[in-house]
């Protein structure tokens, strides 16, 4: 079974302002292009929904993080000889913070279900998906996790957050690296253009800020307890059972963006 851990994630998503109806409609239209791409094996629909920088991540049955870019995904669709449309497609929730949005999606098939968590950015006035992580439940009627398990996962996620925020406050690049996969990217919209920075890039920036005496201090624990109310949006992979920040986010403050 291929999966990426998402248990308890809504509890740590940012508290966002009410989403304007026009923005919600635009985000949902982007998601519908994504849904059609899978149901119709339509690479053209995928390319409308997803930005070329797309990263899709999941954890395979051996606990290893896997990834797929938009080009490879589109080629798979073009090569497909049969269709397997979903029996159910649903947009569970949408949250927005300025030019960033997070949507939780649910899809059902005869043999399995998917819960997607996608991050979108408004680039050149248009909402596009820049990141997808997912959890696959198989068989389709597999039971949901017990409340105690969800609580344990929420606690583990908050512990990762606390360590990441402490690293940011201290300007400690090495410590940040212990919470994030080195392949991770952060994404931002700067004056309408998409900007991507790798985790190693942020580590270097943090270390430089500390060397210059500019590290931020004192907010990490408060941010973790507040459940990321500072508009920090997160995604977690669990390779080998260890929670780590998986990939990019929205630049809302310095010296480090939030992780998506």
The dihedrals phi and psi of 168, each to the nearest 5 degrees, come to: -65, -45
Q: What is the pLDDT along the chain (260 residues), one digit of tens a residue?
A: 333 333 223 333 444 455 678 899 999 999 999 999 999 999 999 999 999 988 899 888 888 898 999 999 999 999 999 999 999 999 999 999 999 999 999 999 999 999 999 999 999 999 999 999 998 999 988 888 899 999 999 999 999 989 999 998 999 999 999 998 888 888 888 888 888 899 999 999 999 998 988 776 555 445 444 443 333 334 434 444 444 444 333 332 223 333 33
Give the integer Cα–Cα distance in Å for 104 and 115: 7
The angle that helices 147-170 and 199-211 make with each other, rounded to 10 degrees, is 40
| CA dist list (Å): 59 to 54, 209, 217, 236 | 17, 34, 34, 10
* Contact in structure between 196 and 53 (CB atoms under 8 Å): yes
pLDDT for res 18: 58
Written as six digits, the tokens of 9 are 């994630």
Give the ranges where 212-252 is alpha helix by DSSP (H). Answer: 220-225
Q: What are the C-alpha distances in Å from 12 to residues 98, 162, 172, 222, 224?
A: 18, 12, 23, 13, 9
**Domains annotated on the chain, with CATH:** 9-137 (3.10.450.50), 147-245 (no CATH)
- Please list the alpha-helical segments (H only) found in 107-250: 147-170, 173-177, 199-211, 220-225
H or E segment and range at residue 45: helix 43-49
């Amino acid at each position: 079974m291929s999966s990426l851990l998402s248990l308890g994630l809504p509890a740590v998503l940012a508290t966002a302002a009410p989403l304007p109806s026009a923005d919600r409609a635009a985000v949902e239209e982007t998601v519908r292009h994504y849904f059609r791409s899978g149901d119709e094996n339509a690479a053209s629909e995928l390319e409308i929904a997803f930005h070329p920088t797309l990263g899709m991540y999941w954890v395979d049955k051996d606990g290893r993080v896997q990834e797929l870019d938009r080009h490879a995904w589109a080629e798979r669709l073009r090569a497909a000889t049969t269709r397997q449309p979903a029996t159910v497609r649903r947009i569970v929730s949408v949250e927005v913070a300025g030019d960033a949005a997070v949507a939780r999606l649910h899809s059902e098939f005869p043999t399995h279900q998917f819960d997607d968590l996608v991050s979108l950015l408004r680039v050149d006035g248009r909402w596009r998906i820049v990141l997808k992580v997912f959890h696959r439940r198989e068989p389709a009627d597999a039971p949901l996790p017990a409340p105690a398990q969800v609580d344990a996962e929420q606690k583990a996620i908050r512990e990762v957050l606390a360590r990441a925020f402490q690293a940011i406050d201290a300007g400690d690049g090495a410590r940040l690296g212990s919470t994030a996969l080195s392949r991770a990217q952060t994404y931002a919209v700067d004056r309408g253009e998409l900007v991507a920075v790798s985790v190693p890039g942020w580590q270097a920036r943090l270390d430089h800020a500390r060397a210059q005496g500019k590290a931020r201090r004192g907010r990490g624990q408060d941010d973790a307890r507040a459940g990321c109310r500072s508009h920090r949006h997160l995604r977690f992979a669990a390779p080998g059972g260890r929670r780590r920040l998986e990939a990019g986010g929205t630049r809302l403050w310095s010296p480090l963006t939030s992780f998506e």
